[in-house]
Structure 1
Amino acid sequence: EVPQDRDGSFEPKVVKKRQKDISGIEQKIISLYAKGMTTRQISETIEDIYGFEVSDGMVSDITDRLLPQIEDWQKRPLDEVYPIVFIDAVHFSVRDNGQIRKLAAYVILAVSMTGHKEVLSIHIGENESAKYWLGVLNELKNRGVKDVLVICADGLTGMKEAVSAAFPQTELQRCIVHQVRNTLKYVGEKNK
């Protein structure tokens, strides 16, 4: 219903007057999903803002439509040569069937020959290991990468062997941020 006011100056922002079709709702749901909200949180937010109920199933159906696009992005062909590739894992907690589990997101960021940053790959694994990194690096080779000049990584045990197995001519450099962070562990708080 359109709210009544005497001079007709009320103009709603979220749902315009006499608007019955809220077709842009799908984009809003996808945007909320991209920000990390759960399906339940999204349906509650939509109900709070728009005043109508959206089931968790509908939210899942809308977000599942993104899966083919995500798979296409993960399988896209890559450049043959990258001068610098940064690899690292980000650890986070996930609730799975009522239990909290630790997962690692393996992120590969590269600098292209034109000097632009590009995310090459993101994988989710149980924990960070050199064996898993070897599989991720081999997948890059399968997607067209023939050579990497420098791979910058943390000091994970076995990383040098994994990089040598995937890209034998590549230099492995220890990440300066990781070096500084590891060095500061041995410095007293008053000296930092």
Structure 2
Amino acid sequence: MSEFYNEQMFTVSSSEDDPIEALVRRGAKVMLQAALEHEVSEYLERSHYQRSEAASAVRGYRNGHAAERKITIGSGTIKITTPRVSDVPEGQEQFESRIVKPYQRRSVSLQQLFPKLFIEGLATRDFEPALRCLMGAAAALSPSTISRLNAGFKAEYEDWTRSSLASLPIVYVWVDGIYIKAGIADERACLLVVMGADVTGKKHLLALEEGYRESKESWLEVLRRLKARGMNEPALAIGDGGLGFWAAAGEVWRQTKQQRCWVHKMRNILDKLPHKERGEAAKSLRAIYLSRTREEAKSKVIALVKSWRGIYDRAAECLMDDLDRMLNFFDFPAEHHKHLRTTNVIESVFASVRLRTTAMKRLRSARSAVYLIFQIVKRAEKSLQRLSHAEKLRCVTLPSQVTSQSVLAA
């Protein structure tokens, strides 16, 4: 190796703040430039200055280099010149580098990193100051650049909403309306969420759409789209006390049993009691839904209501309201009861979503919120635990199976 080469490659200027990074960038530039030159040699089937034995074997000629351009990689920004090829014979494929694409300004890994950082919580306006020191002053890190990269979120979401659910037998579904800060002023957008568990116990995000205050019409649109995508009618739907969903479910999922969330119910009941009574009341309410049978739970409800009559009538009426729908989880395997009593399947996932959206304070629009939250939930979905005793799901009869058995019996 020549002394000149050593001096050019391994001598670091005293003005460099970080000699290690400077050497890494320099080495990356040399290797990348050499790879581009080698790529041309492979295409032409001859090395630099080598002549072809016959004129008919000529595949083209080197034609200098394109204008110098900057490309950002993980260790910073480097300058390269891409080789050009001219006089390519007619009918032969034109030369195009497989390493550096036309107009490419950053490595693929770096391009994929930006949306991930956005999902993790780095706001658009923070990209430039946070990454400029690492990527270098010449790196393309403007907010508009990041926004263009995140445009892919929309395409991914729309592809997902068109995907088929016909081959995914869903046994249980959890539904909820999630409110987030999005839009102008003090607006709060409502996102309608449906998650389900298949016959293997794996949990899936099935729907995530904008809604109008959890209205029946909004929920009808969500459920009809799920049906159009081929989703079966589930055995049980779990949700809060919002009337909009239950009205819609009664029209689309006519044979699905309905279970109201005990967490939401307890909040409503405790809100109607004085503070001094809430601790003991919460213990009594937990004892109801932890009962081993429906009959045992009902007897505890009757006893508690009797103790409240004449003193806390509003709390007693709230407990008795829709009682049958509060106890439908008893019709399913006992091993699944802890999953079916509440909408915690959704609440646990959206805890991480709220951390992300809180950091942003306010999303630009409800639609952009849907795209971002979809990415966060799909990422969290991979780490969700399966339902306990998933083998018991095969013992749960789906409405479609009941219908088939009825047809055969007839």
Shorter-normalised TM range? 0.7 to 0.9
**CA–CA distance in 1 between the matches of 2:119 and 2:135?**
20
The one-character-per-residue Cα deviations of 1:112-150 (angstroms, maximum 9, x if unpaired) are 011111111111234322221111011100000131111
Match of 2:162 in 1: 75
- C-alpha change, 1:3 and 1:61, in structure 2 (3 Å) is farther
- C-alpha change, 1:42 and 1:100, in structure 2 (3 Å) is farther
Q: Which moved more, 1:124-133 or 1:148-157?
A: 124-133
Which TM-score applies when normalising by structure 1?
0.81
- 1:174 Cα deviation from its structure 2 partner: 0.5
**CA–CA distance in 2 between the matches of 1:140 and 1:46?**
41
Q: Secondary structure at the match of 2:182?
A: strand
Alignment of 1:170-185 (within 5 A): 170-185=256-271
Match of 1:46 in 2: 131
Match of 2:151 in 1: 64
The one-character-per-residue Cα deviations of 1:146-173 (angstroms, maximum 9, x if unpaired) are 3111111111124322101111111111
Counterpart check, 1:55 vs 2:142: yes
Equivalent residues of 2:214, 2:244 under 8 A apart: no
**CA–CA distance in 1 between the matches of 2:262 and 2:20?**
54
Match of 1:86 in 2: 174
Equivalent residues of 1:47, 1:54 under 8 A apart: yes
Provide the aligned C-alpha RMSD in A: 2.7
Percent identical among aligned pairs is 27
Gaps in structure 1 of 5+ consecutive residues: none
**CA–CA distance in 2 between the matches of 1:41 and 1:139?**
37
Equivalent residues of 1:102, 1:127 under 8 A apart: no
Q: Secondary structure at the match of 1:90?
A: strand
What letter corresponds to residue 204 of structure 2 in structure 1?
A: E
- C-alpha change, 1:41 and 1:127, in structure 2 (3 Å) is farther
Q: Secondary structure at the match of 1:134?
A: helix
The one-character-per-residue Cα deviations of 1:88-121 (angstroms, maximum 9, x if unpaired) are 011111244xx34210121111010111111111
Counterpart check, 1:17 vs 2:24: yes
**CA–CA distance in 1 between the matches of 2:254 and 2:120?**
38
Match of 2:114 in 1: 29
**CA–CA distance in 1 between the matches of 2:231 and 2:144?**
39
- 1:64 Cα deviation from its structure 2 partner: 0.9
Which TM-score applies when normalising by structure 2?
0.41
Gaps in structure 2 of 5+ consecutive residues: 1-11, 30-71, 74-106, 280-410
| Rg comparison, structure with higher value | 2
Counting strand residues as a fraction of each chain, which structure ranks higher?
1
- 1:3 Cα deviation from its structure 2 partner: 7.8
**CA–CA distance in 1 between the matches of 2:212 and 2:174?**
20
**CA–CA distance in 2 between the matches of 1:73 and 1:38?**
25
